[in-house]
Structure 1
Amino acid sequence: MQIWNDPRASTRLRKWLYLLIAVCLLVSLGKFVLQASLFPVKQIQINGKLKHISQDQLQFVAQNKVIGDTLTLDLNQVKNSFEELSWIKEAEAKRHWPDTLEITIVEKKAIARWKEGGLVDSDGNWFEANTDEELPIFDGPKGSESQMKLMYEELTKTLQPEQLKVKALYLTDRNAWQVRLDNDILLKLGTDDALKRVDMLKTVWRKYLEAQASDIEYIDLRYSNGFALKMRSEPDKPVLG
């Protein structure tokens, strides 16, 4: 029996043919929409407090990395492209119909210079960049940036009441700490209880040491019951008690 002589079979076949034609039309329409760029990105709006990132850098990323129109744009790819810039900590991309891309940028905050080059940010991460800001120097083993960042923050908090600042922070391969203050005095803190040793220094700084600070070369705080001074004009002078 031929199918055309079977009304029910013929009806089912026509339905399948109509469905196939509809699917083909939808696929063709979809390809047309994707290829025709019906929603081109006409405006890129950049938000954020930008201090170190130039407009030229942002424009380069926008022109070379933003690929596609508002409909087909890969927002994660856009985000990652902006975050490749050394000063960008985080970027967020949003589309606004019909033709706008919004980029929100958070810059990194540099807290120190790494002696061998580059900077350390407020999260304790090294990154390659330059700045004219006056920053302390971190000098330590590779990979110790986060550890040094935490020590720097604690030292800053501890020394602030005495109006002393960290000019340079050193960490040896044996995990011993030294601090160069902004008055050029070197503090030798050793490996254990470094912050407790700085607290001990605070108890005598204003009363005994501040007045002669310009003549102090270093203060060795590695003693269990006191400290030693090296005066620029005298030999080592232990002060115990």
Structure 2
Amino acid sequence: MSEVPLLDSPRRGSKFYLGLAFFITLIALLSIGAFKINAWLEDEQQAPVQNIVVSGDRRFIDDAEIEALVKRTQPGSFFELNVDETHKTVQGLPWVYRASVRKRWPSGLEIFVVEQTPAAIWNSDMLLNKNGDVFNAQISDPAVVTELKLPSLYGPGGSEQTALQGYKNMQSLLDSTNLHIVEMFLSERFAWNVQLNNGIRLNLGRIEFIDRLQRFVDLFPLISEQDKQVDYVDLRYDTGLAVGWKSAES
């Protein structure tokens, strides 16, 4: 039997090399395209965060401060912006109690904040929120402090929640009168001293301070009838109290 020559072998080889060349060209084009797309995404001028929207009830939080902080700490493009890191940054601001952050396509950022609720001034230079947590923020406008009527509480470190709860319990008792606490001192031994808005200082001691305050409330109308101005009232007795009167010169 005679052999038939394979006349189409060169054609098959040509197709193989053409296919290989096409494949290599396609891979090169895809690589170039991917590189350019990545470069575009990383280019802040091509895809910056253009619109930062801050929402939530707020009085002391400065929206412009948050926007500047985000742009300073996350200077890259919209696609590069790290939501988790931005959340930590925003929630680290003194007046922010809680925050949530999410991207909004194509170039926006939405930030929802829950503001701290100040309940008292703590040791003259910090604030306590309604839960008794310290936050290091100051209200710059004294008129705002007056409007909020924040009491000044003093106590050793770590006693913040005890001091605030004690203040709340005592003020609740005083709400039936025209008296309110303007300053309260909790000593290292956890003895309670308060100053009222009428200038009277109360020494309540360490134990049964609510019962002792109730004794003062009950006897205050009688004390007020005296033709003297009260300086302090010492309630550290099982029964009764001691009253210190202001001198005529004062």
The one of 86, 90, 93 aligned to 2:101: 93
Structure 1 regions of 5+ residues with no counterpart?
Answer: 1-13, 235-241
List aligned pairs for 1:215-234, cutoff 5 A: 215-233=229-247
CA contact (8 A) 1:112 1:138 kept: yes
Name the CA distance, whole Å, in 2 between partners of 1:199 and 1:136. 20
- Normalising by the residue count of structure 1, what TM-score does the alignment of the two structures yield? 0.76
**Counterpart in 2 of 1:203?**
218
Task: Out of 116-125 and 214-223, give the one that drifted further.
Answer: 116-125
- CA change 1:84–1:36 in 2 (3 A) is same
Aligned equivalent of 1:155: 170
* CA deviation vs aligned residue, 1:184-205 (integer Å, no higher than 9, x gap): 1111111111112112222222
Q: In 2, are the aligned partners of 1:177 and 1:191 still within 8 Å (CA)?
A: yes
Instruction: Select between 124-133 and 220-229 the one with higher mean Cα deviation.
Output: 124-133
Higher Cα Rg, which structure: 2
TM-score, with structure 2 as normaliser? 0.74
* Whole-angstrom CA distance in 1 between matches of 2:195 and 2:160: 17
Are positions 1:180 and 2:195 aligned together? yes
CA contact (8 A) 1:183 1:213 kept: no
User: Partners of 2:92 and 2:54 in 1: how far apart?
Assistant: 16
Matched to 1:192, the amino acid is: I
1:119 counterpart residue number: 127
Q: Which runs of 4+ in 1 moved over 6 A?
A: none
Query: Are residue 35 (structure 1) and residue 42 (structure 2) matched?
Result: yes
Residue deviations 1:71-103 (CA, integer Å, cap 9, x gap): 443222111111222222122112222221111
Distance 1:96 1:197, change over 3 A: same
Indicate the residue corresponding to 2:73 in structure 1.
Answer: 65
Distance (Å, rounded) in 1 between the aligned partners of 2:226 and 2:138:
36
Q: 1:211 to 1:100 in 2, by over 3 A?
A: farther
Take 1:44 and 1:141, find their aligned partners in 2: how far apart are those partners?
41
For 2:13, the equivalent position in structure 1 comes to none
Distance 1:152 1:213 in 2: 30
What are the ranges of 5 or more consecutive residues in structure 2 without an aligned counterpart?
1-19
In the alignment, structure 1 residue 141 sits paired with structure 2 residue 141: no
Query: Percentage identity across aligned positions?
Result: 26
1:108 aligned onto 2:116: yes
Tell me how far apart the structure 1 counterparts of residues 227 and 86 of structure 2 sit (CA, whole Å).
54
The aligned amino acid for 1:163 is: N
